Amino acid sequence: MLAVHRKEMSLILWAALFFGAGLLNLWFIDNQRWHTDIFTYGGILVVLLLAISLLLARWKIIGDPYILPLIAMLNFIGMLLLFRLSPDVAVKQFYWQVVGLLSFVFVIKFLADYVRLQDYKYVYIIVGILLLVLTIIFGVEVGGAKSWLALGPLRFQPSEIVKIILVVFLASFLEEERDILVSGSREILGIGLPSLRYIGPVIIMCGLSLMLLVFQKDLGTALIFYGTFLAMVYIATGRWLYITSGTFLFALGAVICYFLFFHVQTRVAIWLNPWQDIDGKGYQIVQSLFALASGGLTGTGLGLGNPGYIPAVHTDFVFSAWSEETGMLGAVALILLYLLFVYRGMVIAAKSRTNFGILLAGGLSALFAIQTFVIMAGVIKLLPLTGVTLPFISYGGSSLVSSYVLAGLLVAVSHRDSSVSEGMLER
C-alpha cells in the first residue's frame, strides 16, 4: 500500500514541476499582468493534491495510483491556460478546483463500498428527470441552450450531475438484467430479443433524458448521453445488434433535430463551410483553425500566441489555445493524457470483481472519452461544434466538479476490488 502511494506522490511532484515551470514562464513573459499571486494559487493547488494523496494513504485507500496524478497534470494544464487567457477567470476556477477536490475525497471516503449504489437505481431516474425538468422550467439560456439553473450569483448545469446519475443507473439496471439482454426472452426472425418488461426502464430513462435535453436545446450533452448509453449496453451484452440499431435511431433523431431547430442547422452549416460567414457565425471556428495552423509542430510558446481572437476561448476552445502555443506535439501530448485516463478507467473495469463494478467503471470511462472526443472534434471541425467542456481543463464549475466525482468513483471501484484481493490473499 505504501508503495502505491509513494508512486502516486512522486508522479504528482513531477506534474508539479511542469506546473511551476509553466508559471515561471508566464511570469517572465509579462510580470505586470501575471503577478506573484499565480504562484500562491498554484502552490496551494499542489499542496492540496499532495495532502489528498497522504490522506488516502492514511485511510488505507488502495486505489489506482495513476488516476490522481493524471487529474493533477490535466488540472495544471488547465490552470496554466486560464492564467494565460484570463487571470480573473483562473482565480474563479481555482475555487472550483477546491470544491472539486473536496468532492473527490468525499466520494472516495463515503462510497468506498460502491456496490451500495445499486440499491437506489430507481431513485436516480426520479432525481435525474426532476433536475432536467427544473432546468426547462426555471433554466437560463446561454449560447442557444437552456441548460443552466441560477441560484443567486451562482449558475450550474444540472446535466453535468445527470450524466453521472445516468451511468450509475445504467450500471445497476444492466447488471440486474444482463442475462435477459444477452439471450433475450423471445425470438424474432431467429434473433433473441428482450421484452419491453426488461428493457422498458432503460428506454424510459434514456428517452426522457434525451427528450428533455432536446427541449433545452443542449444537443451536445444529448449526444454524450446517447453515446454513453450505447457503450454501456455493449459492455453489458457484447451484442452488436443493439449498437447498430441504436446508431440508426441516433442518425434518424439527428436528422429530425436538424429540421426542428434553427441553431442546429446553423451549426451544421458552419461545420460544412465556416468561410461562408467568416465575419459572423463562422468567425469562432475559423479563428480556431487559424490558431491550430499557426501553432505548427512546436507551437508559438506558452504566452506568445494570440488565442484571444477566439471568442469564449477559455470554455469551448481551450484545446485550440493549447495547440497554438504548444504546437502539434503539445496537442498530441494532451490527447495521450486523456487516453491514459480512459485506459486506466478501463483497466479498473477489467479488474473489477463485480459485474456492477465492470459496468460502472466502464461506463464512466466511456462517458469521459466521448465528452473529450466530442469537444476536441468540434474545435478542429471534425464534428459540428457542440459547446461541451474539455474535462478538467475548460473553465466551468459544474463540469469540473462532475469530473472530480467521476474520478472519485473510479478510485472507489479500484479500492474496493484491491481491498477484496488483499483480503483473499490474507485468508
pLDDT of residue 1: 53
Q: In the numeric block, which cell numbers belong to residue 59?
A: 485511510
Of 285, 290, 367, 380, nearest to 332 (Cα)?
380
pLDDT of residue 244: 82
pLDDT of residue 366: 95
Of 230, 260, 231, nearest to 345 (Cα)?
231
pLDDT of residue 340: 96
Of 89, 163, 143, 96, nearest to 387 (Cα)?
143
What per-residue string of b and e applies to 153-171 under the rule 16 or more CB within 10 Å gives b? eeebbbbbbbbbbbbbbbb
pLDDT of residue 193: 53
Where are the domains positioned within the chain? 2-426
CA 196 to chain centre: 31
pLDDT along the chain (427 residues), means of 10: 76 93 85 72 92 89 90 94 88 92 93 83 80 73 62 73 88 75 51 55 61 64 83 82 77 78 78 81 87 90 87 87 94 96 95 90 95 91 83 89 94 75 41
pLDDT of residue 284: 85
The Cα–Cα gap between 142 and 375 comes to: 17
- Are 381 and 38 in contact, with CB atoms under 8 Å apart? no
Q: The whole model's pTM is what?
A: 0.89
Of 399, 300, 335, 359, nearest to 181 (Cα)?
359
The Cα–Cα gap between 359 and 351 comes to: 12
Look up cell 450500471; give the residue: 171
pLDDT of residue 325: 93
